[in-house]
Amino acid sequence: MRPYFQKMDDFGKEVKPSRIERATPNREQLATVEADIAAQVAQVQQAGFSTEQINKRGIMTIWQRLDYLVDPGTFLPLHTLYNPLDNEEGTTNVIDGLGRIEGRWAVIIGFDNKVMAGAWLPGQSENILRVTDLAKRLNVPLVWLVNCSGAKLPEQEKFYASRRGAGTPFYRHAELEQLGIPILAGIYGTNPAGGGYQGISPTILIAHKDANIAVGGAGIVSGMAPKGGFDTAALEEIIAKTREFSDSPPGTVATHFDHTGFFSEVHDDETGVLDGIKDYMRGIPAYAPKFFRVAEPAEPRFAAEELYYLLPYNQKDV
């Protein structure tokens, strides 16, 4: 095949000046659409607290973690504007895409800890299913950056119910692992309930020293109302129970690293967690491009700018 591709005739031709002149309004319309999309993406990226506010707390944002984890120039974001239930936050609160980590491709997804500390929002599980479907189809690792404060309780009926609701991603994790597709997770912050399940279902869990995952016990039970409602006595009882574990919340490193063994590694620094993920990614088999490449990569023959004059803004104008 190599001689064929090396000697094959070039195809395509330059766009004529007359075409460029005629299609200039088309180019301007497409540029307007691109600018609008870029503005919407920026709005999602800036949702919630600012980067400075998050950094003052001594933690990194999801975007900073991605910048550190993913090989430069390889992250391809997906579903950034996906918000099927029109959340007022403007996002499903997960950021995802394809990227290379230590030279190996992975599907990467993380909770946006700038928005309600990464809480579950309506439509989020549908977003997660799209991502896990992609890992299944491509047969590449799924890498999680977990930082989930729980759920937006006033709207929980919108994401816990149905067969594609918030429980389904955990089932999907089991499917991926049965297929031999590894799931790596970096665990940050407090992750109760659903956030906790998201933490314990992957293959490898690497945690920050201050992280915890709690899927039961006093941390969750204390928030329930066994009498079907709250009164002063019940609230005082909840406060008393909360004080009992405030200094040592359930699901800490002491539990999940020292006893249960859920955490494979624990790191003092946030970047240490990401370095741990990189180390595991290096241990995953991968083929070098030379196995498949028949010719060296080259720049396109024609400038990408010319596509503006070829792709019609009006799809009926062909």
Identity of the amino acid at 15: V
* pLDDT value of residue 224: 46
291 pLDDT higher than 60: yes
Strand, coil or helix: 24: helix
* pLDDT value of residue 197: 72
For residue range 264-290, list pLDDT tens digits in order: 999 999 999 999 999 999 999 887 878
* pLDDT value of residue 153: 74
For residue range 201-224, list pLDDT tens digits in order: 888 999 999 888 876 555 455 444
Q: Which of 22, 15, 114 is nearest to 65 (CA)?
A: 114
Please list the residues that pair with 96 across neighbouring strands. 78, 109
* pLDDT value of residue 62: 94
First to last CA, the chain: 35
Q: Which of 130, 139, 265, 120 is nearest to 198 (CA)?
A: 120
* pLDDT value of residue 250: 67
* pLDDT value of residue 247: 58
For residue range 43-93, list pLDDT tens digits in order: 999 999 999 999 999 999 999 999 999 999 999 999 999 998 888 988 999
Whether residue 288 contacts residue 105, with contact meaning beta carbons closer than 8 Å, is answered with: no
2 pLDDT higher than 70: no
Q: Which of 141, 203, 146, 197 is nearest to 168 (CA)?
A: 197
Q: How far apart are CA 23 and CA 92, in angstroms?
A: 37
Q: For residue 222, count CB atoms less than 10 angstroms from its CB and return exposed for 0-12, middle for 13-18, buried for 19 or more.
A: middle
Per-residue confidence at 244, pLDDT binned at 50, 70, 90?
low
Q: What residue ranges of the chain are covered by domains with CATH 3.90.226.10?
A: 51-215+249-286
Question: Could you tell me which residue, 139 or 293, shows the higher pLDDT?
Answer: 139
Identity of the amino acid at 228: G
Q: For residue 53, count CB atoms less than 10 angstroms from its CB and return exposed for 0-12, middle for 13-18, buried for 19 or more.
A: exposed
For residue range 114-146, list pLDDT tens digits in order: 998 888 888 888 899 999 999 999 999 999 999
CATH number for the domain running over 51-215+249-286:
3.90.226.10
CA 145 and chain centroid, separation:
7
* pLDDT value of residue 301: 85
Identity of the amino acid at 145: L
191 pLDDT higher than 90: no
Segment (H or E) for 200? helix 194-200
For residue range 132-183, list pLDDT tens digits in order: 999 999 999 999 999 988 778 788 778 777 778 777 888 889 999 999 999 9
For residue range 248-262, list pLDDT tens digits in order: 666 788 888 888 888
* pLDDT value of residue 260: 81
* pLDDT value of residue 162: 76
* pLDDT value of residue 249: 63
